[in-house]
Amino acid sequence: MQTILETNGLKKLFNKCEALRGVDMSIPAGQIVGLLGPNASGKTTLLKIAAGLLQPSEGQVRYYKNTPPGPEASKTIGFCPDAMVFPRWMQVRDAFTFYQEMYDDYSQSRADELMRILELQNIQDTYIRSLSKGMKERLVMGLTFSRETKLYLLDEPLDGIDPVGKTRVIDAIIAMKPEGASTLVSTHLVKDIERIFDSVFFLSKGKIIFSGACDVLREERGQTVEQAYLEVFINESSF
């Protein structure tokens, strides 16, 4: 199976603080993968390195077809941050126009479908600054998946979204992932989204402490992803 993203021995230091402590991870083509862990576990740092926004202190990142890190790799990555800053003058439709002008892989048909799924059609003339946190999250998700690329990195896409909004976002992740593309989703809201994962990595204090296929968890271990998550992190915290 082709690999879309691979990290080897990935470390990241901020001053003397170790945000990542030797992360080895492989994301196969076509999968939706969960990067799960509590707050401050290193999830955002890992995604930003994978997106090319941060440089690792040690280790390597390899991309689809061995594309080297940097601008070329960024062309095949859609990154959805947990927060995005927009100019005060920008309306919802302006954000999509900006993406259309910025990215060669932007698809208007995908954008139109995402507006429908995420219920953004009727707020296109709304100033982004006036949107709720949940609607801003939906907008950033729509912008991310308006690109038809190989790898999507989603940082806490359900944070601050109401139950209906969470359903809309999960529907978008499932429906809009191109065939053969992969999606890596960081979250601590495991129960809300575990049903869409093919495999998971549990990250704690900058290290992968568990990984596995979700089918194996359910069929061989008789556990949901949430049950495995609670077991692993409760046991870890007892030491």
Q: Topology of domain 3-237, per CATH?
A: Rossmann fold (3.40.50)
| pLDDT above 90 for 220 | no
**Which band of pLDDT confidence, cut at 50, 70 and 90, is reported for residue 238?**
very low
Q: Which two tokens stand for residue 82?
A: 């947990």
Would the pTM of this model clear 0.85, i.e. be above it? yes
- List the helix and strand counts (H, then E) for the chain: 9, 9
Which pLDDT belongs to residue 76? 81
Which pLDDT belongs to residue 221? 86
**Which band of pLDDT confidence, cut at 50, 70 and 90, is reported for residue 5?**
very high
What Rg value do the Cα atoms of the chain yield, rounded?
A: 18
> Are 10 and 60 contacting, i.e. CB atoms less than 8 angstroms apart?
yes
| pLDDT above 90 for 2 | no
User: Any idea where the domains of the chain sit in the sequence?
Assistant: 3-237
- The CA distance from 53 to 124, in Å, is 29
Q: Give, as one character, the DSSP assignment of residue 29.
A: T
In a 3-state reduction of DSSP, which class is residue 106?
strand
Alpha helices in the chain (DSSP H): 43-50, 71-74, 92-102, 108-117, 133-145, 163-176, 190-193, 214-219, 225-237
Which pLDDT belongs to residue 230? 92
- The CA distance from 76 to 150, in Å, is 5
Which pLDDT belongs to residue 237? 60
| pLDDT above 70 for 154 | yes
Question: What is the phi/psi pair of residue 119, to 5°?
Answer: 60, 50
Which pLDDT belongs to residue 71? 72
Q: Residues 183-196: what's their mean pLDDT? A: 94
